[in-house]
Structure 1
Amino acid sequence: MKLGLSRVHFPVTTLGPGRRLGIWLQGCSIRCPGCISADTWRVAEQPVDVADLVASIAPWLAQCDGVTVSGGEPFDQPQALATLLGRIRQLSSVDILAYSGHPYEKLQGFLAAWPGLIDALISDPFEFHRPQTKRLRGSDNQRLHLLTERGRERFAGYDEQPAGPADRQLDVMLDDEGVVWLAGIPRRGDMQRLQDLLRAQGHFSITSEAPVAVCKTPR
């Protein structure tokens, strides 16, 4: 089974409780305006074998407190996603959190066919102009679904408390090509503030943040 993969990182501390293994899938059919990960939209040119991926992350699975799967849109690859999560379940009992830009109602058929594979799900598209006060979410229309007892134990507090300063922190990752990746839920305008800061220090930078249409008031 082949899977479109963007990147993998451990540890991630900003997308769920504890030190987590982050897996970002490649390819997204939803393409929300303002998405900070527009680099994950295109379909993967060189999909990876799920068995090879699981073998490579096995040492991290033995150390992590949980797994977070994002993208891209994970549910654009439903069979590959199910195969990946099933293999992870065979190796580890940690919680699995998945993100999707699809409404929960559209995903219920998939989830019913995969009982127990996903402990917590954050659903619905990112909406740039909505408020951003909830933990783990880019906009407040997104919903947290606790699908298993393990999910309820690990994530119940994420619906009970508003986002605080700790929820606005970002993990910094650096790949072999010198590209810097940020993991987490940035505040509105954080990417522009970062670019302005780097520019003031004499550095040039670009981000993968998708543009947002500006609504102008007619005169």
Structure 2
Amino acid sequence: MKLALSRVHFPVTTLGPGRRLGIWVQGCSIRCPGCISSDTWAKRGPDVEVAELLDRVRPWLQVCDGITISGGEPFEQPEALEQLLHAIRQLSGGSVLVYSGLPLEALASCDVVKQGLVDCLISDPFDVSMGQTKYLRGSDNQRMTCLTALGHEVFGSLDRHATDSDRRLDVMFDSDGEVWLAGIPSRGDMARLQLILENQGTYLRTTEARS
């Protein structure tokens, strides 16, 4: 089975506790205004075998504290997501956090959730008109739900307001020279960074969708 994949990175320290493996899927039909990852919206056919992806990340799965899956919308590829998570359960004891723009009520009946393959779910569409005070969330309407005993153990104390120390980003360098920032920036951070760099003669293209 194949998955439409955007990118993977390790370590990610800004999308859950510890040093996590980050997996971003490609394709999202929700397209929330103001989304920081509009580059993952475009649909394309599944192009990476799940087994191939697992071979690629296997060394990281053996040392990571957890896995965070985002996108894109992971639940728009339910069969591939299920296969991926079943395999991750066999290869890693780390916690699994999945981001989805779908409402929690729509996800409760999904096989991936019912089978206990997700330890913690952050759900509901990003709403740029809402406040942004909660840890690991882009807008305050988004809900953090612990779904397993491991989820409660790892994430139970994290359903809280964000602190200043939480407001950081990971910098990732791709083999082709592109630089990515992973995490949840505060409102306006990307525009401010773009202005600072342009004033220094450096061009920055952001993937933040216009709201």
TM range (shorter): over 0.9
Instruction: State the Cα deviation string for residues 82-128 of structure 1 (Å, max 9, x = none).
Output: 00001101111110000000001111111576422000000000001
Taking a change above 3 Å as real, the CA distance of residues 46 and 105 of structure 1, as seen in their structure-2 partners, is closer
Q: Report the CA distance between 1:180 and its aligned residue.
A: 1.2
Q: Distance in 1 between matches of 2:172 and 2:44?
A: 20
Determine the structure 1 residue equivalent to 2:19. 19
Taking a change above 3 Å as real, the CA distance of residues 111 and 156 of structure 1, as seen in their structure-2 partners, is farther
Determine the structure 2 residue equivalent to 1:107. 107
Q: Distance in 1 between matches of 2:64 and 2:47?
A: 25
After TM superposition, the structure 1 = structure 2 runs for residues 147-186 of structure 1, keeping only pairs within 5 Å, are 147-159=147-159, 161-186=160-185
Amino acid paired to 2:199: A
Q: Distance in 2 between matches of 1:151 and 1:88?
A: 15
Q: Distance in 2 between matches of 1:21 and 1:7?
A: 11
Q: Distance in 2 between matches of 1:39 and 1:138?
A: 17
Runs (5+) with no aligned partner, structure 1: 213-219
Determine the structure 1 residue equivalent to 2:187. 188
Percent sequence identity over aligned pairs: 61
Larger radius of gyration: 1
Alignment partner of 2:198: what SS? Answer: helix
Query: Relative to structure 2, which stretch is displaced further, 39-48 or 147-156?
Result: 39-48
Amino acid paired to 2:84: L
For normalisation by structure 1, the TM-score amounts to 0.94
Q: Distance in 2 between matches of 1:124 and 1:90?
A: 29
Query: Relative to structure 2, which stretch is displaced further, 173-182 or 139-148?
Result: 173-182
Contact kept in structure 2, 1:167 and 1:185, CA below 8 Å: no
Q: Distance in 2 between matches of 1:209 and 1:146?
A: 28
Q: Distance in 2 between matches of 1:40 and 1:34?
A: 13
For normalisation by structure 2, the TM-score amounts to 0.97
Instruction: State the Cα deviation string for residues 137-184 of structure 1 (Å, max 9, x = none).
Output: 00000000000010000001111x310112110000011121111111
Runs (5+) with no aligned partner, structure 2: none
Contact kept in structure 1, 2:112 and 2:118, CA below 8 Å: no
Amino acid paired to 1:73: E
Contact kept in structure 2, 1:67 and 1:97, CA below 8 Å: yes
Large movers: runs of 4+ above 6 Å: none
Alignment partner of 2:141: what SS? Answer: coil
Amino acid paired to 1:76: E
Alignment partner of 1:109: what SS? Answer: coil
User: Are positions 1:28 and 2:28 aligned together?
Assistant: yes
Q: Distance in 2 between matches of 1:90 and 1:18?
A: 20
Amino acid paired to 1:179: E
Root-mean-square deviation (CA, aligned residues, Å) is 1.2
